[in-house]
Structure 1
């Protein structure tokens, strides 16, 4: 596709699809140009650099979010804040490369700014001071990002194993067996490894128990709700 027939929007959409399939490590201008039927130089002309393209793609997926307003009533802000956090968690699950990008790329743009402004409005509308709203928003977002790290790492590992083949699969199995052997030396970890419902309790090395995200989010919002009540 010639340079003058490409658009930035086409490039960003194609980049998101490639990132979803291959992760950050799979994104390069040559592969993206091939997907678009264009030369890599034409892609560069529209987006400037790979780093800028990642920022554009990241902001585009932030724009996917539905941002609910607070319903009437004292708990309306909490329900909207919870729904927003669940939405961000789902967005990161659909695009796990974004978690990787946060560690190495500046993430900004109208999509993320729209989310940030909305969530601050929810907390300020509930009665938090602007400074408290900043802290609450940061605490919840950090919690959501932390819970997205495991699935993002698992997705990256799956891609690596698929690329490297049987040797990597064998190395992973050996590493998991060693991890279980070390954990079995400690009584509480051993009890969980040996339990009939071990998978439910996250006994696999590095995994979290079922419903961990919902449990933690409710606990965090309980704390914010209690803080707000103490001010009244």
Structure 2
């Protein structure tokens, strides 16, 4: 992921204050809600200033009142989604650092699971909106509070964030129940002489994506416990 110069600041200056004649202003909240709906329905690649303006039945100049370019728009959409991450402060305070870390990662994955086509937007730039910064701060505070060194806490957070993002990107193309049943049936019909190992675990294949995520998250947390113990 990269930080673009346009994503480091909100729309401002003369470019963001352009006015389109004859068209009323569109509230920022409505723009972002419509942009998120567009991504949810058509995918991250469908989000453009022109397409969004068409959905709003407005012109692109209306959008440039709020965003200097698409990168700034993407940053706002991503931060809106991250603002939906549900955190129970009281419950987190009662957890050990590793339990809290696991709960934070799961909460972020669950949120992206409700917007299965949004994750590719997070690859375009490093999220630095207020909600993203809050989540990063909370996660790092948990790791540092558990006694991890700053260097280990930074690497641990980066690993967990990429684990969440990597699996979230796959959610858009994850198989439904019918497809999984077809794949399972295929594995069970394989020739025993050629695929004995696959047949031995066929009852457990394919592994649902959500289960793969939880298993991988547990492995990461266990690894961090061992590093911390050293």
Q: For 1:83-232, what aligned pairs fall within 5 Å after superposition?
A: 83-154=103-174, 187=195, 190-191=198-199, 195=202, 197=203, 200-202=204-206, 211-230=211-230
Q: CA deviation at 1:54?
A: 1.1
Map of 2:93 onto structure 1 = 71
- Is the alpha carbon distance of 1:139 and 1:34 closer, same or farther for their aligned partners in structure 2, counting shifts above 3 Å? same
Deviations 1:42-94 (A, max 9, x none): 1233222222211110111111112344434xx52222211111111112222
TM-score by length of 1: 0.72
Root-mean-square deviation (CA, aligned residues, Å) is 3.0
Instruction: Supply the distance in 1 between the matched residues of 2:113 and 2:30 (Cα, whole angstroms).
Output: 23
Matches within 5 A, 1:9-48: 9-48=29-68
Q: Is contact 1:67-1:115 (8 Å) kept?
A: no
Displacement after TM superposition at 1:28 (Å): 2.7
Relative to structure 1, the CA distance from residue 17 to residue 209 in structure 2 (aligned partners, 3 Å threshold; closer, same or farther) is closer
Q: Deviations over 1:190-231 (max 9, x none)?
A: 5269x3x3xx411xxxx756722222211211121232233x
Greater relative CO (CA pairs within 8 A, separation 6+): 2
Matches of 1:108 and 1:191, distance apart in 2: 47
* CA separation of 1:95 and 1:188: change in aligned 2, threshold 3 A: farther
Q: 1-side partners of 2:194 and 2:70: how far apart?
A: 46
Contact 1:65 1:87 in 2 (8 A): yes
Counterparts in 2 of 1:71 and 1:151: CA distance versus 1, 3 Å: same
CA deviations over 1:129-163 (Å, ceiling 9, x no partner): 111111111121122222223213449xx9xxxxx
Which range moves more in the overlay, 24-33 or 136-145? 24-33
Q: Which consecutive unaligned segments of at least 5 residues does structure 2 have?
A: 1-19, 177-182
More helix by share: 1
Residue 169 of structure 1 is matched in structure 2 by none
Structure 1 CA distance, aligned partners of 2:58 and 2:123?
30
Tell me the CA shift for residue 29 of structure 1.
2.8
TM-score (norm 2): 0.72
For the 8 Å contact 2:79–2:131, the answer to whether it is kept is yes
2-structure distance, mates of 1:188, 1:117? 48
